[in-house]
Amino acid sequence: MTRPTIGVLALQGDVREHLAALAAAGAAAGPVRRAEELAGIDGLVVPGGESTTISKLAALFGLTEPLRAAIRGGLPVYGTCAGLIMLADKILDPRSGQETFGGIDMIVRRNAFGRQNESFEAGVDVAGVEGGPVEGVFIRAPWVESVGAQVRVLAEHRGHIVAVRQGNLLATSFHPELTGDHRVHELFVSAVRAAG
């Protein structure tokens, strides 16, 4: 599988930026909105945006259960920011009725970096990404409060976990798709190739 097909969940959020970053990282990328489309992809990105909205729309479009099943079946998924929240088994502070796809044994805190700091950038060293820190763009970003034994912590910022991996699932609190640095997407594309 030299050029894997990777979908971007296109319900809400920064879909276009991920499509561009995935293409630059060597994938054939396209939007995914319907459950039937899950069968045709080797991997999936859940973008940043608003996790409560993504959760609602996923339920409305009948995607929640099929996506959970695909994750259980080993589909590689990369979540950024709201996407990280969607991959968490548990949210510390969910809005009422807010559901996740789950898959990563972790507890996340939404908007953890605080309102005053709604947006900031910082260099982040990510395990498995060579060539120095990536520029982390944090926008009302969550952090990971705690992880289970199966989860590998890939990066921390200010003492908080901001990147994790569990099996074929990868998640970052920050947005590499906004920087023009495609190394984290390349890491995911290699994970998709390895899984295929």
Residue 49, annotated as binding a ligand:
yes
119 is in an annotated binding site: no
Instruction: Give me the least distance between CB of 137 and ligand GLN, in Å please.
Output: 9
How far apart CA 168 and CA 42 sit, in angstroms, is: 11
Q: Binding of ligand GLN at residue 90 (CB under 6 A)?
A: no
Classify burial at 61, counting beta carbons within 10 Å of its beta carbon; exposed 0-12, middle 13-18, buried 19 or more. Answer: middle
The HSE-up count of residue 166 (CA atoms within 13 Å, CB side) is 17
Smallest gap, in angstroms, from Cβ of residue 98 to ligand GLN?
9
For residue 147, CA distances in Å to 41, 139, 163 come to: 28, 22, 11
Task: Select from 49-57, 62-70, 157-165, 188-196 the region that touches ligand GLN (CB under 6 A).
Answer: 49-57
Looking at the annotation, which residues are catalytic? 81, 175, 177
Does the footprint of ligand GLN cover residue 85 (CB under 6 A)?
A: yes
81: alpha, beta or left, given left = phi > 0 and alpha = psi -120 to 50?
left
Q: By C-beta, is 11 or 85 nearer to ligand GLN?
A: 85
User: From CA 187, how far away is CA 168, in angstroms rounded?
Assistant: 11
Q: Applying CB under 6 A, which of residues 10, 19, 46, 82 lies at the interface with ligand GLN?
A: 82
Binding interface with ligand GLN (CB under 6 A): 48-51, 81-82, 85, 110-111, 139-140
